[in-house]
Amino acid sequence: MLGPILAREWLVAPRKLRFYVQRVVFVLALYSLVCTAWALLAGIQNVRNIGDLSRFGALVFQIVVPLELVVTMFLAAVAAASSVSQEKDKRTLILLLLTRLSSTQIVLGKLASSLLSIFSLILAALPMLLLICLLGGVSSTQVLAATGIIVVSTAWTGALANLVAFWREKTFQTLAITLLAIVGWLVFCEVVAAGAFPRLDPAWADLLSPVRAVRYVCQPIPMTSWVGIPGGLPTAHCLLGTLAASLFGAVAVARLRIWNPSRQLRVQAPEPDENYDQRADEARQDSRSWKVRAPRKMWNNPVLWREMCTWAYGRKLLFIRLGYVALFLAAMVGIYWAVSSGVAVRRSRLADELIPMTARILTPFFVVSFVMINALAVNSITNERDGQALDLLLATQITPPQFLFGKLLGVLYVTKEMVILPMLLAVYLWSQSAMSTENLLFTLGGLVVMDLFAAMLGIHCGMIYSQSKTAIGTSLGTLFFLFLGIVTCMMIMMSFRGSFARQLPPFLAIILGGGTGLFVAMGSRNPSPAIALAAFGLPFLTFFAITSFILRNQELTVFSVIVTAYGFATLAMVIPALSEFDFAMGKSRTVDDDG
C-alpha cells in the first residue's frame, strides 16, 4: 500500500552511516543524562538502600521520557516537512504525479520514509528505558505506555507536517504553519488545564496534550484517575493520536492532486476559435489606452530591496503573522493573569522562586520566535539555490557585504513581529512593576543578540550545506537542541540541588558533547579557530549563565555572559561569510547528502 517510495528508503537508509550514528548519539545522549543525574545524586547524599535507588529511578524517568518526546516530535515535524518541500523546490513532485503511483502511495510513502529513522530512534531508546526499571520506582507498564505515547505523538506530528507540506508551496510557510499549529495545540491544552473553560474538566488536558500525558504516565502515583476509560489514559491518548494521524493522512491523500501542481505553475493559453482574431484586435486597441505603470526604483542593495519590497516568501505569510499574533495574545493574557493575581511578584515555594511564572510563559514564546527567525533565514538561502538563482547572483556585481547584510536585515524585517512582540511583552512587565528598569534593558539587549544569532545561524547553514534538507535540519536542529539542552540542565539542577562546584564535574560530559555537536554542525564544512572556540565555549558559558540565573541577583552576570557568548558566535559566522563568501555548490557533498 505504501509503494516504492518507502521500499527505496527501507533499502537505502541502512547503507548510510548517518542511520547508525543517529541512533548511537541519541542513546548516548540519554544515557549521559542518567549518568549525570547519578553523579549529582552521589555527590550530595549517600545511596544507602533500595528506596534511594527507587526515588532516583522515578526522578530520572521523569526527565528522560519528556525529553525523548520533545526530540522525536521535533525531528518528525522537520523531517516530514523538509522531505516534501525538497521535492517541490526541485520540481520533482510533478514527476511523481505523472507516474503510476497513486495518491495514497505518494502521501503515505513520503510520510513513512521520513519517519523511518525517527521510529528507529524510539526503538533504540526502549532498552535503556527498561534498564531504568531495574533501579526501581518505574514499572515496565509505565515504560511501554510512555513509548506508545511517544510513537503516536511522533506519527501525528509527522502527518500534520506532511499535510501542510503538500498544501503550501514555500518551505518556510510549511515549517512556520506546522510549528504554530503544534505550539497552538499545546497552549490550548494548558489553557484547558488552567480551568479557563468552566464546562470542561481540567483533567482532560492530560488526555489531549502529549506532554501532559507523558507526565501523567511518569508519575508513580497519578494525581487523577481515569478508571472510566478502557485501558486508562495512555490507551485513550494513543487512540486519539492515531485518529488524528489518520485524519491528516486522509485529507492529504484526497487533496494531493488538487493542491499540486500549484496554480502558479499552471499556465493556460486561450484556445483559438472563430472570434479569436476579432477579440485579439479589440485587446490590442484597449491596450493602447492602458496606463503603463512605471518600474519601481531599486535600491543600491538589490538583495535587501527584494527581501523588503517584494513577496519573496509568498503572500500567505500574512496568515503566519496572524497565527503568531494569536500566540502573542495568548502569552499576553497569561502574563496579565500572572501580574493581576500577584503570582508574578509573589514568592512562595522554592520551585516558584527558581522559575517564576512569567518566565514559564515568556520562555516558550521567545523560543518559538527564535526558531521562526532561524527557519526563514535558512530558507532565504536554500530557496535561491533550489530555484537556481544563486548561481546568477554570484555572477553579478553584488558584493559579499551586500548579499550577507541584505539577507540578514531582510530576514529581520520580514519577521519583524517575531522581533518586536517579545520586546513588547517585556515592556509590559516593566510597566506593571513586575520587572525593574535594569532587568528590562538586559532582557531587550539579550533578545536583540539572540535574534541576530538565530538569523545568522540560518544563513550560515544555508551557505555551507549544498542540500536544502540537510541545511534546514542542521540549522533548526542546532538552535532547537541548544535551547533544549538549557531546559534539560535546568531540570536536572532543580531536581538535584547543590553547589556550582559539585554540579560542574557531572555536567562536563554534556558540555563537551554539546560543544562537539555544535562544531560538527557549524564548522565541519569550513573549520576555523573562531568557530571552534564559539562552538565549545557556548555550552560552558550557557551553563554558567544558568547557574547565575538560579542563584538570583546576578542579572548583570547573566546578561554579560549571554551577550559575549552568542555575540562572539555570531561574529565567528559573519566574518568568514564576508571574507571567503564560499557557498557549497556540490563540491563538499557527502554520500549521506545524496539521500
Domain final residue, candidates 263, 291, 310: 263
Indicate whether 340 belongs to any domain. Answer: no
DSSP-derived letter for residue 535 is H
Q: Which three cell numbers stand for residue 60?
A: 530520572
Q: Which amino acid is at 480?
A: F
Structural domains in the chain (count): 2
Distance, in Å, from the CA atom of 177 to the CA atom of 329, rounded to the nearest integer, reads 17
Same domain, 28 and 135: yes
Query: Contact 506/43 with Cβ under 8 angstroms?
Result: yes
Same domain, 249 and 362: no
Indicate whether 207 belongs to any domain. Answer: yes
Structure confidence at residue 495 (pLDDT): 66
Domain final residue, candidates 239, 263, 287: 263
Residue 432 burial (CB count, 10 A):
16
Query: Contact 510/33 with Cβ under 8 angstroms?
Result: yes
Same domain, 234 and 323: no
Indicate whether 372 belongs to any domain. Answer: yes
Q: Which amino acid is at 272?
A: P
Indicate whether 276 belongs to any domain. Answer: no
Same domain, 247 and 310: no
Indicate whether 277 belongs to any domain. Answer: no
Same domain, 467 and 540: yes
- Can you tell me which residue has the cell 486597441? 285
Distance, in Å, from the CA atom of 69 to the CA atom of 59, rounded to the nearest integer, reads 16
Indicate whether 217 belongs to any domain. Answer: yes
Domain of 40?
Answer: 4-174+199-263
Q: Which residues, at least 6 apart from 338, have a Cβ–Cβ distance to it below 8 Å? A: 344, 357, 358, 361, 434
Per-residue pLDDT of the chain (595 residues; tens, 9 = 90+): 667 888 888 888 888 888 888 899 899 888 888 887 777 776 666 767 788 788 888 888 988 999 999 999 999 999 999 889 888 877 888 888 888 889 999 999 999 999 999 999 999 999 999 998 888 888 888 899 999 999 999 999 999 999 999 998 888 889 999 999 999 999 999 888 888 788 888 888 888 999 999 988 888 766 555 545 555 788 889 999 999 999 999 999 999 988 888 755 544 444 555 554 555 555 555 544 544 556 677 778 888 888 888 887 877 788 899 999 999 999 998 888 877 776 555 544 444 455 677 777 888 899 999 999 999 999 888 888 877 777 777 778 888 888 889 999 999 999 999 999 999 999 998 988 888 899 899 999 999 999 999 999 999 998 888 888 888 888 998 888 888 887 777 777 766 665 555 666 667 777 788 888 888 888 877 778 888 899 888 888 888 887 777 766 778 888 999 999 999 999 999 888 887 666 665 444 554 555 5
DSSP-derived letter for residue 250 is H
Structure confidence at residue 269 (pLDDT): 47
Q: Which amino acid is at 587?
A: K
Provide the Cα torsion 175, 179, 181, 186; round to 10°. Answer: 170
Indicate whether 375 belongs to any domain. Answer: yes
Distance, in Å, from the CA atom of 58 to the CA atom of 190, rounded to the nearest integer, reads 24
Q: Which residues, at least 6 apart from 270, have a Cβ–Cβ distance to it below 8 Å? A: 276
Q: Which three cell numbers stand for residue 228?
A: 472510566
Strand segments, DSSP code E, in 308-356 are: none
Indicate whether 343 belongs to any domain. Answer: no
Residue 277 burial (CB count, 10 A):
10
Among 410, 384, 385, CA closest to 303: 410
Domain final residue, candidates 243, 263, 283: 263
Same domain, 408 and 495: yes
Structure confidence at residue 347 (pLDDT): 47
Same domain, 218 and 96: yes
